[in-house]
Structure 1
């Protein structure tokens, strides 16, 4: 009789997945090269450890600091947040808002974290957000639809497909010809359909359907229609729908977010994936991070302080009269 090994290690729990449409997304070309031990060796120990963890997560995995802190035993939430900022500065990580397909209730955004095993600069991420780099999973199938698997060369002669004859009349012509079946008062001849075809075609050019056109022409008819052709020509002109309105602007597909605070902005306003406030110096009691301000801002601030000190030194100070001990000013 066989017994189960009670000392065997329990399988590790699977990493939590984000809601459908959210979570990790691999950036384009991030998996071109096989994984190596030295992929993140140039990073500090903490950032390299978490980078290796993130690189092995599947697409759709949750990448918030709380989940990542629970997924490994070494670092807490604050340390994970700091490491994510450093990975963003190194070019491996960007957080974005991506426009999702509308569900009929308006525009809907999803929040994703794009990960690249290869460190990318801010210009590359800006091109990606602009659509110049194709996201993973958006490859277009270039195989023509007319060439099916059965039509590919197999070494044997294939029977020539039967040519389907082209339709002899347009949709507008067919809709007009069938009006007499809907209401005999609107029966048209071939000559009448040819004369009215261009007017009916304008309806279809503006987005109308055969059902909508038939309903507009047959509703509210008088008791007798003595001249169907002239009557329909009048209705086709008077009830012509307006031209469709084209959208003035298109909502951007991706919007970059600050890795630290989540504020949205253009790529040029968030270099290294961080906003201006999160790039300034942060020094405090118990702080785990020190993010250096840009060098130009440091020099500008120092020059301003220097000018204030020089101005105060040149201003003469008011003289005070000397007072003897035990006396009071008058």
Structure 2
């Protein structure tokens, strides 16, 4: 997966899945398209990463096929210039995927609509800010009176308790854990006094992320043949083996961030519209790379190809010297011999 806010992003509004989704692509390109389509949003989309995950093809095949998928209208890389409210700025490259084939005009309009989008990190980096639904304030406002009503109802119930009734206090998880240590090893039979004395230490263990099993294991592993003072040994182990405190993660407040500029980028390299002409999502060099291996789409069906030379006329299989034929026609027309003529 890529960093939060990066990686694959579905454009939305796509047609339902169907068998001919990528029938217009060559078999290998269609295979990559199906592979990418099934990746989760947020997955890294560099051709090297795709090649490392793909079971059949390497980096060169991945690069060329991803370029062809881009030319077919399924992929686009868009660089967005983010301006944050603290006046800091940065460029972020987003990868957008569409299972439905889109035209270059559709992608150009999609890029224009990204301009001025609110991409505040607090809501989710790179996505449009979700506005608060109407009526949310009313819900929040009515929550307090409802809570107060519950508290009043609970108070009434307390007043109705008979004076003779007494509530039984439930032991804490730490105390309960200490009382059950002897079930694992009888040499660590802790008295009620020991358990209450050690309860604060055990509670500290649990607050640091330890489990009751961790406490029991720390108190019973590697015991001597005879334990004369279980309470003292337990205190020593709980203090000396105390796990570290959990690091407190400071939550960074989200700052308002807006897309202030949008440019198209090449899907296979770092080039963008500032330095190169981007044609259908690729720069000229990467476009040439994709065209080197042959046509981008399926070849024309044989029914659309021209018939045999000569069309079945007499002499159709005869080999014709085109240069000699042209020269004879020029002489017949009274023209001077051509440049390549030897006569």
TM-score range relative to shorter protein:
0.3 to 0.5
RCO comparison, higher one (Cα < 8 Å, 6+): 2
Relative to total residues, which structure has the larger helix share, 1 or 2?
Answer: 2
TM-score after normalising by structure 2: 0.43
TM normalised by structure 1 equals 0.45
